[in-house]
Structure 1
């Protein structure tokens, strides 16, 4: 029973997620390397590849330069006398092929040094997925929708920050107006006090002068 249940889960997973994903690498010394895939009509193959060359000084692989290597990628229909349906060049790039007929396809990569005594030891990395055109487009649409949702969330956060900044500016403006009003009132109050004090002094001086005159002191 447990075995049947496990097989049922595997079959259900294969039905729900029919897209195949593959990522691998292989080494080459300038020879043409090929691998075969069985593709049904309407199947879309998408992926990326890049070529790395061995650096004796670094004792490691690094990205190859298009000036040093001539790299070609071919896809052929094995069932149709190896009819080539795709050909492209470049040390790195994208693959995209829609199978027009069902059958075995061969994907070949060849990396040749352009210089006569160039290093032919290379490492070729391949990463691709196979599924129907609708499935891959749906997956891309899902990614786009997810990114769109994240952008909307960021826009909402930016709008909230702007509202907070506007509120802070309004409060600063109110505080500035209140401060200027208080400073103005304080200045005028000081002026009024000074004027009152001046008139008080003048009145006291005149009063004392009148008093001294009456007392015949002056």
Structure 2
């Protein structure tokens, strides 16, 4: 039982992947975030927008007319998702390529002046992997007991750990390939420099020999 608890605790610590924050954007500004995501991993983003009200000098909930455009690109630069949402909600996508995914958010409206607003505050919470699962809903749907639900959570966390380990191996492989490529280029550059020095030295020797012979010094 102690061993199971240790594994469960390690799983919780090792797969703690959630990003909660808020930031401000202008009317035509966009904010992008880079999230390292293993392959075949679900990502859920919950957001809420607020517009700055000059009259009360504070942020108030945005009008439903002002929505949020969410754009996601995979590590290869391919568009994974591009969709317009309302002023508050959630977006979901599943990664198919491991690596750095770029998540960009910007307002779909350029008529903030109608509401007397100059900037927007966006509350964003990104959940990756098993953190994106709503286990309360899963328990109600599958009629799981508390123990069965804990086992389900543990299995999901172990699966996510395996994905993270696979992703780390993928990064190590990419790093090794980059290092080998860099070392090869450095080697060829050194060989090129050596050849240039040898040719330059040979040319200088011939030039000096011709100079000395012309001056009848040798």
TM-score (norm 2): 0.53
Residues 145 and 12 (structure 1), Cα distance of their counterparts in 2 relative to 1, 3 Å cut = closer
What CA deviation, in whole Å up to 9, does each residue of 1:31-75 have, x standing for no partner?
1100100111111111311211001112110111132x3421111
Q: Which of residues 3, 11, 19 is equivalent to 1:22?
A: 19
Structure 1 counterpart of 2:124: 126
Structure 2 counterpart of 1:53: 51
Shift of 1:147: 10
Counterparts of 2:48 and 2:12, CA distance in 1: 31
- Count of aligned positions: 136
Structure 2 counterpart of 1:62: 60
Structure 2 counterpart of 1:38: 36
What CA deviation, in whole Å up to 9, does each residue of 1:100-141 have, x standing for no partner?
1111101111025432745330000111211159x8265642
Counterparts of 1:83 and 1:47, CA distance in 2: 19
Q: 1:1-150 to 2 correspondence within 5 Å?
A: 13-16=9-12, 18-30=15-27, 31-67=29-65, 69-77=66-74, 79-80=75-76, 82-89=77-84, 90-111=86-107, 113-115=109-111, 117-118=113-114, 119-132=117-130, 136=133, 140-142=137-139
TM-score (norm 1): 0.53
Counterparts of 2:44 and 2:133, CA distance in 1: 9
Q: Which runs of 5+ in 1 are unaligned?
A: 1-8, 150-218
Q: Which runs of 5+ in 2 are unaligned?
A: 1-5, 147-218
Runs of 4+ more than 6 Å apart:
145-149
Structure 1 counterpart of 2:180: none
Q: Partner of 1:97: helix, strand, or coil?
A: strand
Give the structure with higher Rg (CA): 1
Shift of 1:19: 4.6
Counterparts of 1:127 and 1:83, CA distance in 2: 23
